Amino acid sequence: MPLAGKRILLVISGGIAAYKSLDLIRRLRERGAEVRPVMTAGAQQFVTPLAVGALSAGHVYTDLFSREDEQDVGHIRLARDCDLIVVAPATADLMAKMANGLADDLASTLLLATDRPVLLAPAMNPKMWSNPATRRNVATLRKDGLTFVGPNAGEMAEGGEAGLGRMAEPLEVVAAAEGLLDGGAKPLAGRTAIVTSGPTHEPIDPVRYIANRSSGRQGHAIAAALARLGAQVTLVSGPVTLADPPGVTVIKVERADEMLQAVLGALPADIAVMVAAVADWRVATPNAEKIKKQPGEGPPPLMLTENPDILKTVGHHARRPKVVVGFAAETQDVENNGRVKLQKKGADLIVANDVTPETGIMGGTRNSVKLITTAGAEQWPDLSKDDVAGRLAGWITERLT
């Protein structure tokens, strides 16, 4: 249990998502962690120090100028006497303070004074999350080495609003904390990886698009597995409903051309795992308005053009990663089609699978893959997508070490 005996400093900032911190405390303590809560003034408007203290079974810290807590420069002690600081929820305001080195209350002061790893679980309105100022602050914090979990997409507390901004669920935060505190070997430390995941949506008009049944589960699992082994991972994800993997930088895209540009922008890298089920074709000229049915007329013709081949571009790029892995979703002649793809795309490995509907692989939770290299083919048993990800991360590690 990675959290057993660990000291977690939990910073709760002001937002409706503060209610999730109560369950988070319980989940952390179930796994053997000691939780020391710090509450901002805003947080105390949503949950009470009495409730937080009852669940954490300890003192709740709220005041930078507390005579009792600051007799021994308590904020410095709190900042250092822990294994991990978790900020949940992390508001736009608190992240802005952190990004710009401001320290005007207990939470922001100890976050500036710490030398411990920090995990942020953002929560805010979608417009606030997408605001350029917030995006700049998030980029700064990532560059400074802080780790993010979430935010997730969904309904907001304010009626009628939805989008990206919901705080990650408590168990997602726990998993991210476990990943940061896992004392296991990190053979990919210092290595960089690019992973693509999910489908792409190629617009027909403002309402309709060309897509496929990919869920993104396999790509997201691979990104998480590489991060657990110490790699610095950039995940370029098409439209999915999955939470961002912990410890991973996520770039969200819609179309194949956007995915290609994001991948090229992440080069150079040591590892590229191209898992996304990229649409092969797109509409040459998407309609600016919704295409309407006309009485007595058939559907208008769709003129298609070929999308960029992301795997082939990476496999033959001047800054080609040391290890390039591609996926081949096939419905017939899986091994031969995978072998042709291996040769054409310039990959070191093709992970091929049978995605006919009866297998349940595309969009499902399990996978049955065949690894194809120039040396031959190896069939893996039916596994969960998490297990496939773990094994594949091990294969990649062997190639690099």
Determine which one of 131, 212, 287, 337 is catalytic: 212
117 is in an annotated binding site: no
186 is in an annotated binding site: no
SS (H, E, C) the chain: CCCCCCEEEEEECCCHHHHHHHHHHHHHHHCCCEEEEEECCCHHHCCCHHHHHHHHCCCCECCCCCCCCCCCCHHHHHHHCCCEEEEEEECHHHHHHHHHCCCCCHHHHHHHHCCCCEEEEECCCHHHHHCHHHHHHHHHHHHCCCEECCCEEEECCCCCCEEEEECCCHHHHHHHHHHHHCCCCCCCCCCEEEEEECECCEECCCCCEECCCCCCHHHHHHHHHHHHCCCEEEEEECCCCCCCCCCEEEEECCCHHHHHHHHHHHCCCCEEEECCECCCEEECCCCCCCCCCCCCCCCCCCCEEECCCHHHHHHCCCCCCCEEEEEEEECCCHHHHHHHHHHHHCCCEEEEEECCHHHCCCCCCEECEEEEECCEEEECCCEEHHHHHHHHHHHHHHHHC
Q: Judge whether 212 counts as a catalytic residue.
A: yes
50 is in an annotated binding site: no
- The closest alpha carbon to 3, from 80, 77, 82, 57, belongs to 82
290 is in an annotated binding site: yes
3 is in an annotated binding site: no
12 is in an annotated binding site: no
341 is in an annotated binding site: yes
**Residues flagged as binding site for CTP:** 280, 290, 308-311, 327, 341, 345
> Which residues are designated catalytic?
212
**Residues flagged as binding site:** 280, 290, 308-311, 327, 341, 345
